[in-house]
Each structure stands twice: as structure tokens, then as C-alpha cells.
Amino acid sequence: MHKAWAFPGAAGPDGNRPRSERGFTLIELMIVVAIIGVLAAIAIPAFQNYQNRSRRAEAFTNLGAIVKMEKSYYSEYNVYADTGNNSWPGGGLGANKRPWTPLAETNFSKVGWRPEGDVYYDYGVNVGVACPASDCFTAAAYGDADGNGQTSAVVYVQPNGQNVMENDLVLGLAAPVDPITLRVEINEVAVNYAADQY
């Protein structure tokens, strides 16, 4: 028997097209859309957390540099230097970088620290309230990397010889506590979970 030639996509003798040449059914299409929706619901918050953590890395780097400058200042003058009664550069926290201002430059001039470029966080050093001899300090970075309107704090707490510590300058929080081990985190840069996470 001789086989007839058919155009691709032509219907067979029963009037139906071959299964391989039919389109997607509505149910198949809805299943694909649902899978994409679930993947997006998982991936988007994970990506946002990654962005917030990368912005917060700025605070860890800059506080490490501020601490080195403070300890250098202490070795020369036997006191730590504060940065005034505010955090700098000021002008509203958020998910966008802000320029380092001349006033911020002036307030950090004693310690000789300046960030490289614009910053997400405000910075301040509190000295002389709990330690009148200026022999302890708390350096803090304040931010709102996730833009939710709540302030987060990354801090470094340097106690004096009697283990007296300064609270941070803006939020007035005590030394951070690790949420898992409940260990008070002093002499290291740490997130203060009593404030917002990002």
C-alpha cells in the first residue's frame, strides 16, 4: 500500500492532529504559571536579603576602620575621641547611598577617618557618658538598607578596664547580644538585634 504524503500539522484520518503537534492545554499552562509563581515567591525575598546583607557589609568594613583609628588615637592621647552628638552624614536613612558631607568630615577629623565614597549608613562614636575619663567608646553604624523605615544598628563596643560600656549614640542600646548563644558581643563589630536587622 502506498503511503500518502501529508503536510506537517495536517490532521490524520480520524480528524485529530498527532499528539506531538498539538498545543499546550490550559491545565498544563496553569501548572507552569503556578510553578513560576512559587519559584518567584522564594527567589525574590532571598535576593532582597542578599542585597541588604551586601549593603550592611559596608558598615562592618567602615566600623573596623573607625575602631583602628580610635585605638590609634587612644595610644597617643590616652582618651577616645567622640564624633559629636549625632551620626554622620545624616540626611535620612534609606536604601540609597548618600555623600559624605563637610560637617561629617569635620566631626571625624579628630580620629582621621573618612569613608571611601558615598555611604548607606550613618556613623557615630559615643565617648564620655558612662566613662567620664573617655576610656571606653561605642562606635555605631545606623542604616535602613531594606527601606522599611526602621533603623538598624551595627556596633563595636569597647569597654574600659572596669568593664563599663557606653550605649550607642542614636538608639541608646546596650551592647549587642548574640541571639543564638546569648553572649554579649564586645570588642567586635556585630549587629545589634535589639534594633531592626537591616
The CATH number assigned to the domain holding 185 equals: 3.30.700
Q: Is residue 90 part of a domain?
A: yes
Q: Is residue 149 part of a domain?
A: yes
- Assess whether pLDDT exceeds 90 at residue 15: no
Q: What is the mean pLDDT of residues 179-188?
A: 95
Q: Is residue 4 part of a domain?
A: no
Q: Quote the number of domains for the chain.
A: 1
pTM: 0.80
- List, for residues 19-51, the tens digit of each pLDDT value: 666 678 889 889 999 999 998 888 888 888 888
Task: Identify the domain containing residue 80 by its residue range.
Answer: 28-191
Q: Is residue 7 part of a domain?
A: no
Which residues does residue 141 pair with via DSSP β-bridges, in sequence order? 123, 154
Q: Is residue 105 part of a domain?
A: yes
- List, for residues 112-171, the tens digit of each pLDDT value: 999 999 999 999 999 988 999 999 999 999 999 999 999 999 999 999 999 999 999 999
Burial of 160 (0-12, 13-18, 19+ CB in 10 A): middle
Q: Is residue 129 part of a domain?
A: yes
Q: Is residue 173 part of a domain?
A: yes
Give, in order, the Cα–Cα distances in Å from 176 to each of 60, 69, 133: 14, 22, 23
CA distance 151 to 196: 6
